[in-house]
Structure 1
Amino acid sequence: MKVLVVGGGGREHALVWKLAQSHQVSRLYAAPGNAGISRHAECLPLAATDIDGLLAFAVENAVDLTVVGPETPLIAGIVDAFEQKGLRIFGPAREPALLEGSKGYAKGLMLRSGIPTAAYAVFSSYEAARYYARNQFAAAPGQPLVVKADGEAAGKGVIICRTEAEAEAALSLMMRDRAFGESGARVVIEEFLEGQEASLMAFTDGTTLVPMIPVQDHKRVGDDDTGPNTGGMGCYAPVPLVTPELYARAVDEILRPAVEAVRETGIPYKGVLYAGIMITPDGSLKTLEFNCRFGDPETQAILPLLETDLVDILLGVTDAHLDEVAVKWRPQSAVCVVLASGGYPGPYPQGVPIDGLEQVAHLSDVGVFHAGTALNDAGQTITAGGRVLGVTGLGDDFAQARARAYAAVKNIHFDGMHYRTDIGAKNVRL
């Protein structure tokens, strides 16, 4: 089987790494891939957003399965384009992908379907949004608001505002300065929720829903959840807070109603449905967001724990027989630590040589997934993005998994490298 993976980040490296273990895969391609992916797959000079180029390649090379990593091509309709040519592709079509492509659309679907979420309002006018925020702070002094860009913003379009001035600055940044382009032309203003966050992902063929192991992501750039939001600085799985009983509730209250609501539109949701949830102090569940793809870096923690052949699951989704696939997981823990470029999530240098990868390449129970990397003319691995590497440690418990991840991190170096030192730490203290 020939498989094409679309994307070039840490999530896609984890997908390629897992697919390379399947006896069903005879040829692996990645577009555009990265330095780490090139060890497992043929990397193509095609951008993940070049739908026409990707489609032409898949047709000419008789690709049997295309797996889409990032959200941008999904929202742009890559699945629709491939399916019109009779090609098998993993991911939701353009309309279902609006669950991530528009926060306003997603909130409306939640409201109509009775899916629990924060109170909200949607605005296309800066003045109207500012007026609303001012009134909210006047009505509930000291209660923060959350301002979100309506469209995709690489995980950075969410700003928690604790004062009216902060809310005005956030609205100006998104709606006037267009810091996130057209994604910020419309905004969602939400009530601020207290509690613990978790990422719940599930495979679905539009009818059957197969939950993955729960993950907790660390969005803030600094230890103890300080500093600005990022695409994710690390994660761990499973999440002790998410008991089997609580997860069953989340499936019944959030994931399944979303899949059913999309199916009622006439286009089934097929792919990965990712729900970011908040577990409030009183034990209730609230939906923070939906994503239409594998999480990043969550995938780098989850796939090493997957026992089942990933190809079987992907085909179960694309061919609508997921109910026939027995999905099994290893009873272990995983901790993924992201190594970022100096300056990230702001401006950062590129082309910085990375040392120490050889020392960690053969460590047992450690996986190093490349995100923003490339090869220079001399064949040396260099930085090529904000999030550079994801180092995942596995263990029989969190202490062991965490120790293995950070021991590997100590062997890797590039100028400006920074990372959080507290990924999964609270679970070790339990």
Structure 2
Amino acid sequence: MTKTVLKLKVLLIGRGAREHALALKLCKSKHVSMIVVVPGNGGSHTGIPKTCNIGDIEENEFPRLFKLAQELKIDLVVPGPDAPIVNGIEAVFREAKIWCFAPSKEAGQIEGSKAFSKDFMERHKIPTAAYANFTDISKAKIFIENALSKIHHTKWWIKASGLSAGKGVVIPQTRDETFEALDEMMLGDKFGDAGNEFVIEQFLEGEELSIHTFCDGQTKSMPAAQDHKRAFDGNKGPNTGGMACYSPVRAATPSVMKEIERLIIKPTLDGLREEVMLTKAGPKCLEYNTRFGDPEAQTVLPLLKSDLAEIMFAFISGNLHEINLVMENKFCVTVILVSGWYPEEYRTGHKINFKSLCSDSSASLCIKRDSIMMACC
């Protein structure tokens, strides 16, 4: 990595805990002189060195984001959420020769469409669960009936193909629940446009891992994390964006990580993060994310000793091979505090009471009246 101190001005896009965690890590870099979080939240608004919020611009307002980047002479843009990446934010800044830590819109399809990503895995012989893609609910129900008559099991994942903030997955337990889930997704418009196409996928038994991999043709992976997505204790309830996470994961032994590298990461090369399931038949790819996971980012970034800004610069300039990725020999656990009705329709604007924490990453919080933290969205 260059010995020159870069003094980068960073535009960090997003309002969640992931972006809070990214700001906390980037502010420690000697190469970063300023971080502007748009729109940010109460956590990124206060207490992070070199960091400020601009809260009146939304994540997908590309013309306003571009104008702001020009006015502030931004050097590096870091989109946190999936939607700006899938909608092509990288090209907006690439054309203006402003570095953007994101894949192209074309590469972003592997997250933006689960149907596309499953077909991609099949084309490239990447191990994954058996599946079928549908846009017609009647054909999907016929598929379910045929599957029941042949394989006599009723457990599968039904996934909205489009972006749904990690909540577009239903795991029905019976035939009737399966048909009800299909009706809600297609007829009830539960996931909006994201559910216009959906994937019915074989349910896999095993441990789920998230692998964050930096990739510029070369690959550098951080330790595996394990995200717990179900809303309630005992791995029950609806899927969420994530209720807890820890890293590293004991099941991700060196030999397992080598298998994941050989079978999934190397054939893919486009993924910054791979979600992987360990089954009795070996690792299988569940899906791709083209950005840091949430809550995985809050879990693995505190373990990263290397300079994150240097990694991002090396990624953009095609010099990732020069980076030595160094991690703390420690564990990190993340627990999510949410409104009691989450992930369904839940109340906002209420005071949150808790004792002091070891550290925190705030999502959808605002500070009001003498630094009282209030849930705002």
CA offset digits 1:359-402 (Å, max 9, x no partner):
33xxxxx32110120123554321124xxxxxxxxxxxxxxxxx
1:34 and 2:35 aligned: no
CA offset digits 1:101-133 (Å, max 9, x no partner):
001110111011110001111111111111111
Structure 1: tracts of 5 or more residues without a match:
260-268, 361-365, 386-430
Q: Are the aligned partners of 1:200 and 1:274 in contact in 2 as well (CA < 8 Å)?
A: yes
User: Where do residues 85-100 of structure 1 align in structure 2 (5 Å cutoff)?
Assistant: 85-100=96-111
User: Where do residues 411-426 of structure 1 align in structure 2 (5 Å cutoff)?
Assistant: none
Q: Residue 274 of structure 1 aligns with which residue?
A: 273
Q: Residue 308 of structure 2 aligns with which residue?
A: 310
Q: Residue 5 of structure 1 aligns with which residue?
A: 12
State TM-score, norm by structure 1.
Answer: 0.83
Q: Are the aligned partners of 2:9 and 2:74 in contact in 1 as well (CA < 8 Å)?
A: yes
1:64 and 2:75 aligned: yes
Q: Residue 319 of structure 2 aligns with which residue?
A: 321
The alpha-carbon deviation at position 14 of structure 1 amounts to 0.3
Q: Are the aligned partners of 1:118 and 1:190 in contact in 2 as well (CA < 8 Å)?
A: yes
Q: Residue 380 of structure 1 aligns with which residue?
A: 372
Structure 2 CA distance for aligned equivalents of residues 158 and 227 of structure 1: 12
Change (3 A) 1:170 1:20: same
Q: Are the aligned partners of 1:208 and 1:322 in contact in 2 as well (CA < 8 Å)?
A: yes
Structure 2 CA distance for aligned equivalents of residues 377 and 78 of structure 1: 36
CA offset digits 1:283-323 (Å, max 9, x no partner):
x1111111111000001110110001110001011111111
3-state SS of paired residue (1:177): coil
1:192 and 2:203 aligned: yes
3-state SS of paired residue (1:30): strand
The alpha-carbon deviation at position 330 of structure 1 amounts to 0.5
User: Where do residues 213-228 of structure 1 align in structure 2 (5 Å cutoff)?
Assistant: 213-228=223-238
3-state SS of paired residue (2:241): coil
Counterpart residue type for residue 197 of structure 1:
E
Aligned residues: 366
Q: Residue 418 of structure 1 aligns with which residue?
A: none
3-state SS of paired residue (1:214): coil
Q: Are the aligned partners of 2:306 and 2:327 in contact in 1 as well (CA < 8 Å)?
A: yes
Q: Residue 294 of structure 1 aligns with which residue?
A: 292
Q: Residue 391 of structure 1 aligns with which residue?
A: none
Structure 1 CA distance for aligned equivalents of residues 81 and 102 of structure 2: 10
Q: Are the aligned partners of 1:3 and 1:65 in contact in 2 as well (CA < 8 Å)?
A: yes
Structure 2: tracts of 5 or more residues without a match:
1-7
Q: Are the aligned partners of 1:137 and 1:163 in contact in 2 as well (CA < 8 Å)?
A: no
Structure 2 CA distance for aligned equivalents of residues 37 and 222 of structure 1: 28
Counterpart residue type for residue 4 of structure 1:
L
The structure showing larger relative contact order (alpha-carbon pairs under 8 Å, at least 6 residues apart) is 2
CA RMSD of aligned residues (A): 1.3
Q: Are the aligned partners of 1:255 and 1:273 in contact in 2 as well (CA < 8 Å)?
A: no
Q: Residue 3 of structure 2 aligns with which residue?
A: none
Where has structure 1 moved over 6 Å in runs of 4 or more?
none
Counterpart residue type for residue 146 of structure 1:
W
The alpha-carbon deviation at position 137 of structure 1 amounts to 1.6
Structure 1 CA distance for aligned equivalents of residues 367 and 260 of structure 2: 43
Over the matched positions of the two proteins, sequence identity in percent amounts to: 37
Q: Are the aligned partners of 2:60 and 2:83 in contact in 1 as well (CA < 8 Å)?
A: yes
Q: Residue 145 of structure 1 aligns with which residue?
A: 156
The alpha-carbon deviation at position 200 of structure 1 amounts to 1.1
The alpha-carbon deviation at position 141 of structure 1 amounts to 1.9
Q: Residue 407 of structure 1 aligns with which residue?
A: none
Structure 2 CA distance for aligned equivalents of residues 34 and 161 of structure 1: 35
Q: Residue 329 of structure 2 aligns with which residue?
A: 331
Counterpart residue type for residue 29 of structure 1:
V
Q: Are the aligned partners of 1:67 and 1:91 in contact in 2 as well (CA < 8 Å)?
A: yes
Residue in structure 2 matching 1:47, options 40, 52, 58: 58
Structure 1 CA distance for aligned equivalents of residues 373 and 315 of structure 2: 35
Residue in structure 2 matching 1:105, options 109, 116, 119: 116
Residue in structure 1 matching 2:131, options 120, 125, 128: 120
3-state SS of paired residue (1:202): strand
The alpha-carbon deviation at position 275 of structure 1 amounts to 1.4
1:172 and 2:183 aligned: yes
Q: Residue 4 of structure 2 aligns with which residue?
A: none
State TM-score, norm by structure 2.
Answer: 0.94
Structure 1 CA distance for aligned equivalents of residues 94 and 194 of structure 2: 27
Q: Are the aligned partners of 2:31 and 2:310 in contact in 1 as well (CA < 8 Å)?
A: no
The alpha-carbon deviation at position 142 of structure 1 amounts to 2.8
3-state SS of paired residue (2:359): strand
Q: Are the aligned partners of 1:200 and 1:214 in contact in 2 as well (CA < 8 Å)?
A: yes
